[in-house]
Amino acid sequence: MKKPKPIEISPPDISDYKTGNTGVDYVHVLDSGKPGPTVMVQALTHGNEYCGAIALDLLFREKPAVKNGKLILSFANVAAFARFDFDDPDRSRYIDEDINRVWADEQLLGSRDSAELRRARELRPFVDSADYLLDLHSMTEPCQPIMVCGVLGKGGEKNIAFARRIGVPGILLVDTGHAAGLRMIERGGYGDPASPRTAVLIECGQHWENSAVDVAVDTMGRFLAITGVSTLGRKKKRAPQKVVSVTEAVVAKSTGFRFEQEYKGLECISKAGTPVARDGEKVWNTPYDDAILVMPSTAHVKPGNTMVRLGRYI
């Protein structure tokens, strides 16, 4: 059994941000009163990924001046975050289901109910009004930061271009989406190549590493600077960036799923046909030379969950 990851950062106290000016708990809109884009930064899409919440807390404390347009600051799954437990930190990922798989109209406008759907329905007007959106996340396993730019042919190209303007991190990812449901960065115009609306998701590093907070703060500052909405955040030196295109997702068929060896992420498997995982009699082999393993983890093994993505540099 793997040792639990050390928790280097403590969850922030966000209680002061419950009552904002929107009528929706933990959502604030800072309006310049001048023409300009509507820009949204969201943290706590998953309740155990709170490096982004620390970044937002720091931003609130700096009292950002909004130069143009509007800035929306949102803490998403606060109910899950509220039950964070140092002895069982993954328990606070969500209450009933992953809130980042429910952003299709079929779910948001349907009759099905869950804690996450109720919260997503509250957030939908803000998500749908933003011209630019940054979703702050972190990862289960230690790995260098990754910017998720959506799906090629469904907005991925414009999001890659936007991530290059941000200038970090070094790895930009386009993938196949999630079989379990639509992510927020793929909703509506974000996933439409013909729309100027743009959304990216930054995986800042391992959930509870100090460095994940540094990445969240830096990325948020750069994002605010290039959208022109705030005086805070000035772009520093850009990182050399490479794009990984995911060709397939490895999805668990049972709780018996396991990897052939321990992976941390972004390993390059040189030979096609190399076994990387198995689930009963099913064996997953690399489909081509120099296959990249993207965010491998068995922390949430159950049928239908993505365990790793296989991709290549483009």
| pLDDT for res 72 | 98
Please report, for the chain, the start and end positions of each structural domain, with discontinuous segments joined by +: 15-227, 247-313
Block residue for tokens 């957030």: 123
Parallel, antiparallel or unpaired: strands 268-269 and 282-285? unpaired
Position 33 scores a pLDDT of 95
- Helix (H), strand (E), coil (C) string for the chain: CCCCCCCCCCCCCCHHHCCCCCCCCCEEEEECCCCCCEEEEEECCCCCCCHHHHHHHHHHHCCCCECCCEEEEEECCHHHHCCCCCCCHHHHHCCCCCHHHCCCHHHHCCCCCCHHHHHHHHHHHHHHHCCEEEEEEEECCCCCCEEECCECCEEHHHHHHHHHHHCCCCEEEECCCCCCCCCHHHCHHHHCCCCCCEEEEEEEEECCCHHHHHHHHHHHHHHHHHHCCECCCCCCCCCCCEEEEEEEEEECCCCCCEECCCCCCCCEECCCCCEEEEECCEEEECCCCCEEEECCCCCCCCCCCEEEEEEEEC
One-letter amino acid at 174 equals: V
Q: Record the pTM.
A: 0.94
Fold (topology level) of 15-227: Aminopeptidase (3.40.630)
Written out in words, the top-level CATH class of the domain with range 247-313 is: mainly beta
pLDDT under 50 in the chain at which residues?
A: 1
Tens of pLDDT, residue by residue over 37-55, are: 999 999 999 999 999 999 9
pLDDT at 235: 55
Supply the Cα-derived Rg of the chain in whole angstroms.
Answer: 19
pLDDT per position as a tens digit, 160-169: 999 999 999 9
**What pLDDT was estimated at residue 1?**
43
The angle subtended at Cα 53 by Cα 44 and Cα 308, nearest 5°, is 45
